[in-house]
């Protein structure tokens, strides 16, 4: 915590909030929420720390949160306890009078940063010099910046989340025979394999190399072009961790997120988004045993909420998303009290140039979801 305090002292006035005891932070957050009442909506992603998650009016994965944000046309302020691409999505889907606030602007996503518009445009030129654009659909995981969503919208593509990736990929294959999937290779590969697409129909696209490191023939032949991005949190889960639980815990069921590697996903019993993981464990019979491969805050919450089951974290390492972790009670209170005093801090505004097509890409997804 002390390291975090040191890093966070840069915002004017924020440092004082780190001197407050947890009870005071709680009381004051609850106080501002009561005062701003219906003008305010706090959204909380499943990976958030409990100290802020407990104040969220609505909780869930990025799909649920974006659908909900789109319906709340009467809330003036939407404070997003999550990461930047989620706040951008909320800004795109809400009206121009509504303000979306990210309590700490450093809450990004290292996976989202693995694809940027210059690289994606270069990639697209390389691909479409070999294949007509009418034969390939760009799909971006929601974990991506707004300009990449706009790119997909403009080129006949769309957004997906871990909850709906299969549906979205099916939609794309109904229209065109190939997909370019970014930034997460694992979600793309794991989902396509479950749809019966074999590994030899997929190529990995390394944007640092000409033609992604592939021959022209391989590009012409592939059905699925997977951007070489990954989540550093989920890639920490290893097949040995699954082997350990299978050996040590009788009747263990292993459930993992599709951002895990193919080797991990293949050895697991079940794979799905955070909402799927929560639903599955909540509905599981008392006494059942689960090892879960996703972000640690969520797994700890599952343990607490399911005392009649045994829930284990799948790795001996601490697989915590350090950017999700940045939204803490001092930042939440700081941004709320600024709002209360009439000044908006850390507003997320998607540039007009990206807004239209990013919204098209998101709405295509939301219609299918």
Q: Which residues bind ligand CIZ (CB under 6 A)?
A: 45-46, 61-63, 142-143, 161-162, 257, 273-275
Neighbours of 217 (CB within 10 A): 9
Q: Give the residue, chosen from 159, 226, 264, 324, that forms a contact with ligand SF4 under the rule CB under 6 A.
A: 324
DSSP 37: G
Cα separation of the two ends of the chain: 39
Question: Is residue 111 part of the contact set for ligand SF4 (CB under 6 A)?
Answer: yes
Cβ neighbors of 178 (< 8 A, separation 6 or more) are: 131, 135, 136, 137, 222, 223, 224, 225
Question: Is residue 48 part of the contact set for ligand SF4 (CB under 6 A)?
Answer: no
CB 89 within 8 Å of CB 104: no
Q: Give the residue, chosen from 72, 143, 163, 185, that forms a contact with ligand SF4 under the rule CB under 6 A.
A: 143
- Binding partner of 231, given ligand CIZ, ligand SF4, none, CB within 5-8 angstroms per partner class: ligand SF4
Question: Is residue 295 part of the contact set for ligand SF4 (CB under 6 A)?
Answer: yes
Question: Is residue 83 part of the contact set for ligand SF4 (CB under 6 A)?
Answer: yes
- Binding partner of 61, given ligand SF4, ligand CIZ, none, CB within 5-8 angstroms per partner class: ligand CIZ
Q: Is 225 helix (H, G, I), strand (E, B) or coil?
A: strand
Cis omega (within 30 of 0) for bond into 183:
yes
Question: Is residue 150 part of the contact set for ligand SF4 (CB under 6 A)?
Answer: no
Q: Which is nearer to ligand SF4, 136 or 147 (CB)?
A: 147
Q: What is the DSSP string of 335-364?
A: HHHHHHTT---SB----HHHHHHHHHHHHH
Q: Which is nearer to ligand SF4, 32 or 295 (CB)?
A: 295
Q: Give the residue, chosen from 109, 179, 281, 329, that forms a contact with ligand SF4 under the rule CB under 6 A.
A: 109
Exposed (0-12), middle (13-18) or buried (19+): which is 285, by Cβ within 10 Å? exposed
| Contacts with ligand SF4, residue ranges (CB under 6 A) | 83, 109-111, 143, 231, 233, 259, 295, 321, 323-324
């Amino acid at each position: 915590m002390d390291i975090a305090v040191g890093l966070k002292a840069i915002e004017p006035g924020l440092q004082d909030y780190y001197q407050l005891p947890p009870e005071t932070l709680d009381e004051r957050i609850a106080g501002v929420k009561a005062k701003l009442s219906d003008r305010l909506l706090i959204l909380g992603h499943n990976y958030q720390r409990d100290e802020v998650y407990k104040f969220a009016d609505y909780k869930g994965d990025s799909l649920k949160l974006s659908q909900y944000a789109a319906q709340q046309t009467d809330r003036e302020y939407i404070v997003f306890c999550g990461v930047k691409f989620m706040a951008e999505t909320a800004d795109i889907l809400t009206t121009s009078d509504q303000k979306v606030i990210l309590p700490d602007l450093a809450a990004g996503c290292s996976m989202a940063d693995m694809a940027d518009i210059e690289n994606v445009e270069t990639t697209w030129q390389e691909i479409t010099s070999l294949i007509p654009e009418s034969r390939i659909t760009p799909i971006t995981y929601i974990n991506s910046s707004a300009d990449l969503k706009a790119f997909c919208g403009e080129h006949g593509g769309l957004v997906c989340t871990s909850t709906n990736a299969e549906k979205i990929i099916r939609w794309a294959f109904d229209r065109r025979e190939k997909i370019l999937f970014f930034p997460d290779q694992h979600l793309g590969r794991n989902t396509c394999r479950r749809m019966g697409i074999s590994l030899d129909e997929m190529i990995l696209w390394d944007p640092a190399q000409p033609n992604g490191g592939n021959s022209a023939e391989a590009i012409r032949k592939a059905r699925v072009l997977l951007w070489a991005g990954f989540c550093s949190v989920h890639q920490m889960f290893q097949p040995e961790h699954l082997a350990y639980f299978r050996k040590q815990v009788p009747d263990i069921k292993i459930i993992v997120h599709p951002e895990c590697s193919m080797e991990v996903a293949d050895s697991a019993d079940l794979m799905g988004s955070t909402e799927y993981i929560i639903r599955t464990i909540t509905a599981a019979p008392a006494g059942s045993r689960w090892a879960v491969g996703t972000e640690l805050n969520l797994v700890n919450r599952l343990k607490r909420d399911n005392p009649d089951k045994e829930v284990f974290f799948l790795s001996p390492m601490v697989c915590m998303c350090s950017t999700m972790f940045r939204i803490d009670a001092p930042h939440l209170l700081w941004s709320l009290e600024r709002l209360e005093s009439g000044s908006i801090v850390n507003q997320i505004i998607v540039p007009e140039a990206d807004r239209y097509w990013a919204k098209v890409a998101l709405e295509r997804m939301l219609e299918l979801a």
